[in-house]
Structure 1
Amino acid sequence: MDAPPALLRAARAALNLSQQELAKLSGVSPRTIYRIEKGDALIESMRVVQKALERSGIIFLPEDDSTKFPGIRVKLDR
């Protein structure tokens, strides 16, 4: 599932990361993070950032019949 920009932004917020921190974590520029969250970025850049968020504990949930919307879940360390 390719997460939409609003879900990537929500995932960053759920992890309490700044745009600069997420940029460093994903290997893209802070400007790229800004553009992704604005909805003005290449899908390849969005996928790189999504993978970094997934490595950090985010699970992206696709839209389904019961929710009608995509979502996120944060894996907690136990």
Structure 2
Amino acid sequence: MVGVAAALLCVWLNTPLPWIIGPLFGTAALRLAGVHLHSPVRVREAGQWAIGTALGLTSRRRCWPCWRHAPGISRWR
């Protein structure tokens, strides 16, 4: 709920990328204040999947030759 509230605050403040910056700064501020935060494992995994998918969709075909030098990916050619 902290992330949603912080994101809505950033939307209201008209900041760039409010759904990323809001939760980032909101949770960081609470952790710096000493508040213990907990996120369910499934929710965290879903968030990691969404971020990974978004990053993966930004790669272009011209970037693919770079991947053959990455460890463990050479078998995908």
Structure having the higher Rg: 2
* Alignment TM-score, normalising by the size of structure 2: 0.30
Higher relative contact order (CA 8 A, sep 6+): 1
Using the size of structure 1 for normalisation, the TM-score is 0.30
User: Per residue, is there more strand in 1 or in 2?
Assistant: 1
Higher helix share: 2
